[in-house]
Structure 1
C-alpha cells in the first residue's frame, strides 16, 4: 500500500474528527506555535477555492467565511475518483483558483483566522466534490496511509490483463506452433504485443506464449501521477515534456518504465492500478 495523502503541516494534532463539546468536528486540527508555518497540499490536484479577506485575529464564533477564516480547497482525481481537501484558519494564501499543485506544494501559512482560538490548520477530506461540511470524512485513515484502499501494482513488466472470452490456443511464436490452450474466463498478465507479419493480426504475450487478440478482452493498467514528472521519448531517452498530476492509461512496460501512449515514464514515479 502506498500513502497517497500526507499530513499537510508540521505540528501536533490537537483535535480529531468526531464529537467535540457537544458538536461535530468535521476534520483534524494541527497546531504549531512557530512563525510562518507552511501548509502543504496533502496530495496533487487543482485549487478549487481560495477564499481570503479575514484578519488573523480569530475568536470562537467568528463568522468570517463561515468560520473557516482564510481557506483553500484543492480538488483531486485519484484513479478516477474525486476528492476534495480543505485547509482552514490560514494566515495567508499562496495559491489561486485553477492552479495545479503537486503533493507537498505550499498553499498557505498556518494562522488564526475565523472561528479559532490559536494558530493551527483545520484539515478536512471529502470523498467527492464538496457540497456541505457534513459530507466530510475522517482524515486520519488517509493521513495514516490506510486509504485509499487500492493496492498499487508493483512493477513486473506487465501493462494489462487479458480475460479469455473463448478457448484460445497459445502459440510459442506469433501465429504458429501451438503449445497449449487457455480456457474461457481465465485472466492473465500481458507482457507485450506483436503483430503477425503475414496479415497484421495482433497477438498478446501472456508469459507462457502468445494469444490471438480475438480470443480475449484487454484491461489496461492505469498510472496515477501525484506530482509533476518528466516524460521521455524512450526508456532512458530524451525528455519530452512535464506531465501534470492525473491518471493515465498504460500501453506498454519495459525495463522499469511505462508507456503512456506517445511517451514513457519511470515506473517508480507513478502509482499503478490493475483493472
Structure 2
C-alpha cells in the first residue's frame, strides 16, 4: 500500500491514468489546425478525413461516448455553429451526431453558452465539466472534456469528448484503492468523481471545497492535493470516521 500521507502521490497517479484522454483531444485539435486553409475558411469538405478518424477511434475508446471538434461561429464557412462529432449509442454503433442549430427552434442546441465551451474560450487549457446528464446529446451521465483550438491567436473552437462517468470512476478507483485511507476525487464544482469508500457518493456535492484540517474531524480532510492533470480536480484523504473533533472546533 502507498503510505497514508500520500494524497500527492495518488494525485500524480490519477493524472497519469487520465492523461491519454487529453492527448486524444490534442490529436483532434492538431488535425483541425493541419487541415485549416492558410487564407480561407474551413468547409465541410476539409473535415472528411477527421470524420473517418473520429469514427475509427471511437470504436476503441470505451471510456468515451463521443468526440470531435466544435467550431466557433463562422470558423466553418457560412456556419454559425458546426460540429464534427461522432458518438456511440447503447448498441455500440457509431454514427455522426447531428443536432438542431436553428436559433428559432424551441429545442435549439446552443453550445456557445455551455460551460465546457465557454471555459475553453476564456483560455482554460483543460476543461472537465460534469458529471451531468447530457439530455441534448448522448442522454448519458457524462463528463465533457475540452481543450481550446487556437491558431495565430484566434479561437477556432474546442476539441472535446464526452466521457463515460462509470469508466472514469473505475479508473480513478483503481488508484484510490492503493491506500488504506478513505480517499476521494473531487472536481471544481465540489462534486465527487470517485471514492474508495461509501462515505462519499459519486455525483454528490460536498458542502465545501476540500481543505486540510489539522484537527481530527470525520467531516474534514487530513490531506488534499491537486491533480497535475490541469482540470482543477483534487484528491483528498479524510480523517477516519472515528476521529473526534476538538471541543474548540466549529460544529
- TM-score range (shorter-chain normalised) is under 0.3
Structure showing greater relative contact order (alpha-carbon pairs closer than 8 Å, 6 or more residues apart): 2
Task: Provide the TM-score with structure 1 as the length reference.
Answer: 0.19
Relative to total residues, which structure has the larger strand share, 1 or 2?
Answer: 1
Task: Provide the TM-score with structure 2 as the length reference.
Answer: 0.20
State which structure, 1 or 2, has the greater radius of gyration over its C-alpha atoms: 1
Relative to total residues, which structure has the larger helix share, 1 or 2?
Answer: 2
